[in-house]
Amino acid sequence: MYSVLPFPISALYGIYGLFKLLRVLLTFLVPSIPGPNDGIHLAVSPQCGPLSGTVSDFNAGLNLPQFKTIVSFGDSFTDGGRHDGGPLEPAVMIPSYPLAGGRSTNGPVWVEGIASDIGAKVMDYAWSSAVTNISLWPSNPYPRDFIMQTTIFINQSNKLDPETTLYTIFFGINDWGDSFVDGNHLPQAAQNILGQIALLSSPPTNARNFLITDAYGRGRHNAWGEAWLQSIFDGLAVFRSQDPPLNVALANFATIWDGVLGSDPGYEAFGYTNPGSCFIDGNTCDDPEHYFYWFDGHPSKQTHRLMADYVEEVLTQCRV
């Protein structure tokens, strides 16, 4: 059942939504002003649904405007160049170095976009090449996983207000890739995601607010990957039904990847001129603002902005 938020929160969402609408309208009404995000825009909508049955985008209890801190865990898609929650370097490019402030892209990552929109602080623990649990993937040479990241965070004894702190979790791409070498350990990987959420929601952290995002196949799908995502979805439903319930949301970035890399609606509908990579073998394309990827498999800064926009649409449109 879809619920109506209390007036103060609804008002905040209304103001926030109005700002985004005006920003888009300016692009069309005043052509002389450069459009937001270099003209790259969402051409797909969240696939909203209930927190039951098959996987869908949903928001069960997260009120985006209330968050003052975002704690992020994940892989290169969320890695801000620092892995201990400290201040991130500016997301600027240095000649001949392809990583903006250590990020695997040419600008801010998606979670920074969300934080900027709501005036929140980012504490980033994500690390390039990370998986959920490295012990599941013996072929993976990088000892980086979700367990390591939460261990670093918890050992810091951070004193964060559970009500104003959002925890974001973005894993699956590397786990799915490793499954082609090491076999299908994705069911265990999904349980590790849920296990770390349970850990963070327990003392001393007592986290209450979790956003899960996913793009496991980046435009590719298989039964193992879909089962992985379904297991996480089902686990989030359990967390929501416990007493007291956790506030949880899922934003499935597969909708963006399928829309850009497939024919419906296709990359041009988003404003891209190329669905491939801009930075190849040390050479940068002539039009990086309109490429889907910055380098192989890693979103450009414009795509990261789309990902932030998609999450924000899920959190405002898919409340259950």
pLDDT digits (tens, 9 = 90+) for 40-62: 999 999 999 999 999 999 999 99
Instruction: Check which CATH number belongs to the domain holding 54 and give it.
Output: 3.40.50.1110
Token pair 């109506």 in the structure block, residue:
4
Assess if residue 2 is contained within a domain. Answer: no
Helices (H), 183-289: 186-200, 223-241, 254-261
Confidence band for 96, pLDDT divided at 50, 70 and 90: confident
Centre a 10 Å sphere on the Cβ of residue 271 and count the other Cβ atoms it contains.
18
pTM: 0.89
d(CA 170, CA 121): 18
Domain enclosing residue 153, as ranges: 7-317
Is residue 260 within 8 A of residue 267, CB to CB? The reply is yes
Q: What is the pLDDT of residues 246-286, one digit of tens each?
A: 999 999 999 999 999 999 999 999 999 999 999 999 999 99
Give the pLDDT confidence score for residue 171 in this predicted structure: 98
Assess if residue 1 is contained within a domain. Answer: no
Provide the phi-psi class of 306: left if phi over 0, else alpha when psi is between -120 and 50, else beta: alpha
Q: Does residue 26 have a pLDDT over 90?
A: no
Q: How many domains does the chain have?
A: 1
Assess if residue 22 is contained within a domain. Answer: yes
Assess if residue 42 is contained within a domain. Answer: yes
Assess if residue 261 is contained within a domain. Answer: yes
Q: What is the pLDDT of residues 123-135, one digit of tens each?
A: 999 999 999 999 9
Is residue 232 within 8 A of residue 194, CB to CB? The reply is yes
Residue 226: which residues within 8 A CB-CB, separation 6 or more? 55
Assess if residue 124 is contained within a domain. Answer: yes
d(CA 35, CA 84): 35
- The mean per-residue pLDDT over the stretch 139-160 comes to 97
Q: Which two tokens stand for residue 67?
A: 């968050």
d(CA 284, CA 97): 11
Centre a 10 Å sphere on the Cβ of residue 79 and count the other Cβ atoms it contains.
26
Residue 65: which residues within 8 A CB-CB, separation 6 or more? 9, 12, 13, 16, 118
Give the pLDDT confidence score for residue 20 in this predicted structure: 53
Assess if residue 45 is contained within a domain. Answer: yes
- The mean per-residue pLDDT over the stretch 213-221 comes to 98
